[in-house]
């Protein structure tokens, strides 16, 4: 293990340091066609890479999806245990929630991508001269586009990243415009789990529903944002709020469905339940802020279109 860590330090040092007193000359990578793709060194935030990273470890399921979507998949050597998409991603037992610096270093990466600095992993890997990009949960679609662009620049795929964000933006705009405007906004409850945790309008999920002009019944439970936009609702408050629609993002983890919601005591009087306006979402797509956000927007659009005006 000590040999592997030493090797990781040596390899990573090539990306983080240059010869003392010398100005590094840009290194140009090429695409499969031989055309110039990116010039190094490249700096994104606190991370500077002197060459294109060819041994990337992703400890963020969303980052994993982004990397493969921009054509950097062949550079990814390991992903965390929650990265379920795409199927070809090299899934391992590495964890983004409880990251192990020694296990990560054993992969000898030249770039690690994470969504949060759990257990101070950035500093731990920094001591091993392993560059770490923190790509946190997005709050808006623009945040998502920025993160995709950042990954494109760091990995040598800036053009692919630009093409992806442009495609996503166009498709999302088209989907939203396809849904007729309503004289009265639909209200919704977004369920993260049967314990009634939800997401407010200040979150990424909230920004998606906001594109359809919908009102979020969870907002009242976290008016000042002290709960980070993820409050736990009481059954009484939810029944009183009486949402027009319910969206379930706990269909895989907790096996929730329109039937299980209908069976909950006291829920039969909620408009969404009474009118059959309870919609199941794919947990993975609904919990990430990457390229498949387009599919989430489409799912919401399809649901809204079913609700009588």
CATH 3.40.50.1980 placement within the chain: 2-169, 179-306
Strand partners, 39: 28
**What per-residue confidence (pLDDT) applies to 193?**
96
CATH topology of domain 179-306: Rossmann fold (3.40.50)
* Contact present, 76 and 58 (Cβ < 8 Å): yes
**What per-residue confidence (pLDDT) applies to 38?**
64
Q: Write out the chain's pLDDT in tens, 309 residues.
A: 333 333 333 333 322 323 333 444 444 444 443 445 568 999 999 999 999 999 999 999 999 999 999 999 999 999 999 999 999 999 999 999 999 999 999 999 999 999 999 999 999 999 999 999 999 999 999 999 999 999 999 999 999 999 999 999 999 999 999 999 899 999 999 999 999 999 999 999 999 999 999 999 999 999 999 999 999 999 999 999 999 999 999 999 999 999 999 999 999 999 999 999 999 999 999 999 999 999 999 999 999 999 998
Q: What angle do CA 234, 239, 242 make, to 5 degrees?
A: 130
Strand partners, 278: 246
The Cβ of residue 228 has, within 10 Å, a number of other Cβ atoms equal to 11
**What per-residue confidence (pLDDT) applies to 39?**
87
Which residue has tokens 């005006």? 309
**Alpha helix positions (H), 37-189:** 61-69, 101-105, 121-126, 141-155, 158-177
- Alpha carbon distance 40, 51 (integer Å): 6
**What per-residue confidence (pLDDT) applies to 19?**
33
**What per-residue confidence (pLDDT) applies to 13?**
31
Q: Tell whether the torsion through CA atoms of 166, 201, 116 and 293 is positive or negative.
A: negative
Give the neighbor-by-neighbor strand order of the sheet with 245-248: 215-216, 187-191, 245-248, 278-280
Q: Who contacts 278 (Cβ-Cβ below 8 Å, separation ≥6)?
A: 245, 246, 248, 258, 261, 262, 272
Tokens of 146: 């920025």
**What per-residue confidence (pLDDT) applies to 5?**
32
* Contact present, 194 and 103 (Cβ < 8 Å): no
Please provide the CATH number assigned to the domain covering 2-169.
3.40.50.1980
């Amino acid at each position: 293990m000590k040999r592997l860590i030493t090797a990781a330090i040596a390899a990573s040092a090539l990306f983080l340091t240059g010869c003392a007193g010398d100005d590094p000359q840009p290194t140009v990578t090429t695409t499969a066609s031989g055309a110039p793709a990116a010039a190094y060194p490249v700096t994104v935030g606190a991370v500077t890479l002197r060459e294109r990273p060819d041994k990337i470890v992703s400890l963020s399921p969303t980052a994993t999806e982004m990397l493969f979507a921009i054509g950097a998949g062949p550079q990814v050597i390991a992903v965390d245990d929650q990265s379920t998409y795409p199927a070809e991603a090299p899934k391992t037992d590495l964890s983004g929630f409880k990251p192990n610096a020694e296990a990560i270093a054993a992969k000898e990466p030249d770039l690690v991508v994470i969504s949060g600095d759990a257990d101070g992993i950035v500093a731990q890997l920094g001591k091993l001269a392993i560059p770490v990009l923190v790509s946190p949960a997005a709050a808006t679609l623009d945040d998502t586009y920025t993160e995709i662009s950042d990954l494109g620049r760091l990995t040598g795929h800036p053009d692919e990243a630009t093409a992806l964000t442009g495609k996503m933006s166009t498709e999302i705009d088209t989907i939203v415009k396809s849904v007729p405007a309503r004289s009265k906004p639909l209200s919704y409850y977004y369920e993260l789990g049967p314990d009634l945790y939800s997401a407010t309008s200040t979150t990424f999920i909230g920004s998606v529903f906001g594109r359809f002009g919908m009102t979020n019944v969870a907002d009242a439970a976290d008016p000042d944002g002290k709960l980070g936009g993820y409050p736990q609702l009481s059954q009484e408050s939810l029944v009183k709020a009486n949402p027009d629609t319910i969206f379930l993002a706990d269909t895989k983890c907790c096996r929730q469905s329109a039937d299980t919601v209908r069976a909950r005591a006291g829920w039969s009087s909620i408009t969404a339940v009474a009118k059959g306006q309870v919609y199941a979402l794919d947990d993975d797509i609904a919990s990430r802020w990457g390229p498949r956000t387009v599919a989430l927007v489409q799912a919401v659009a399809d649901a809204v279109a079913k609700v009588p005006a």
